[in-house]
Amino acid sequence: MFNAEKFIEKTIPNLQKDIQRKALIAFSGGVDSTVCAALVNKAIGDRLIAVHVNTGYMRKNEPEQVKQMMEDLSLNYRFVDASKEYYAALKGVEDPEKKRKIIGEKFIRIFEKVAREEKVDYLVQGTIAPDWIESGGGLRDTIKSHHNVGGLPKDMKLKLAEPLRDLYKDEVRKVARVLHLKVSERQPFPGPGLAIRIIGEPTPERTELVREACDIVEKEIERASEQGLMERPWQYFAVLIPIKTVGVHGDKRAYGNTIAIRAVQSVDAMTCHYSTIPHEVLDTISTKITNTMKEKVNRIVYDVTNKPPGTVEWE
Ligand code: XMP
């Protein structure tokens, strides 16, 4: 049985022993990186520098919220807006693994630059067990190169500290609760962000569509869960399928994209079952998405795939 207090007690002195000078952490605002940052901050204080990179593939208002979280945790932090750089690097890229590799590698290069400026020697990552198991770290095939594993360049100069690498998500949440972190119930969000929720090229225009759709799905599902209409899923979001279909707006022909709604129940993300969303909630989501993006999206579908054989994210 996992004991979060014991885990914290054991981890802090280990971090103090390993990290003699300064360390850098990629702070995404998700459960894993927030728990990691809080732990390492407890261990080495201001010698930890949290860096948030806005890749341009964050959710609506997320960069501002993340900044506030770093303030609230009293972290020593740097905020880097690299969205234009990311959009340029992903121009014309359609292959999911290529997207992941480019995003992961760019991340590390940005960190290396900050690391040189700040003279740090350690990179702290919030990698958890399913990340490296599914990236081929165990005896299994690579299913997808998870951002914090697959994107690491071979010539990386920083040493790695991954205090959560043997933990599963429910265990990370237990640690978050013991540390009184508000983030403990936040749904997971993948490192490559919305780029892997856009099938095909993740252009700035397509990103805006999926960002808006994800926001509507999140808000409506949270509202429905709070009203007791459904159980809150483990994860819930939208995927942009750039397949155009014919529709009608008023009395005019429309030819727009498709949005898929994805909501799953899981314990550790290794397997999942699709959530049953009441039809009235699906209906509200569908209407809101098509009304908000009238000319651009005119078809909404619901994904009823379990994992396996699917994965949680589409890419
Ligand atoms: P999949 O899609 O592999 O996702 O079934 C399992 C869980 O991991 C999240 N995910 C990621 N998390 N970096 C992360 O930190 C990544 O590259 C990444 N890809 C997927 C996904 O959202 C789900 O919770």
C-alpha 295 – ligand 1 centre gap (Å)? 31
What is the percentage of the chain residues whose pLDDT exceeds 70?
95
pLDDT, residue 132, reads 81
Give the angle subtended at the CA of 100 by the CAs of 99 and 102, to the nearest 5°.
Answer: 65
pLDDT, residue 26, reads 87
Whether residues 167 and 251 fall in one domain: no
Whether ligand 1 lies within 6 angstroms of the CB of 188 is answered as: yes
Helix (H, G, I), strand (E, B) or coil at 248: strand
Tokens of 14: 């280990």
Show the low-confidence residues of the chain (pLDDT under 70).
Answer: 137-140, 147-156
Instruction: Give the phi and the psi of residue 107 in degrees, each rounded to 5.
Output: -55, -50
Q: Which amino acid, one-letter code, is at 38?
A: A
C-alpha 271 – ligand 1 centre gap (Å)? 12
Q: Which amino acid, one-letter code, is at 169?
A: K
- Is 192 contained in some domain? no
Please measure the distance between the N-terminal and C-terminal CA atoms of the chain and give it in whole angstroms. Answer: 33
| Ligand 1 pocket: which of 31, 128, 131 to mutate (most atoms within 8 A of CB) | 131
Q: What is the mean pLDDT of the chain?
A: 93
- Is 75 contained in some domain? yes
Q: Is the full-model pTM beyond 0.75?
A: yes
Whether residues 84 and 214 fall in one domain: no
Number of structural domains, the chain? Answer: 2
Residue owning tokens 């693994």: 97
Whether residues 44 and 181 fall in one domain: yes
- Is 315 contained in some domain? no
pLDDT, residue 150, reads 47
Whether ligand 1 lies within 6 angstroms of the CB of 55 is answered as: no
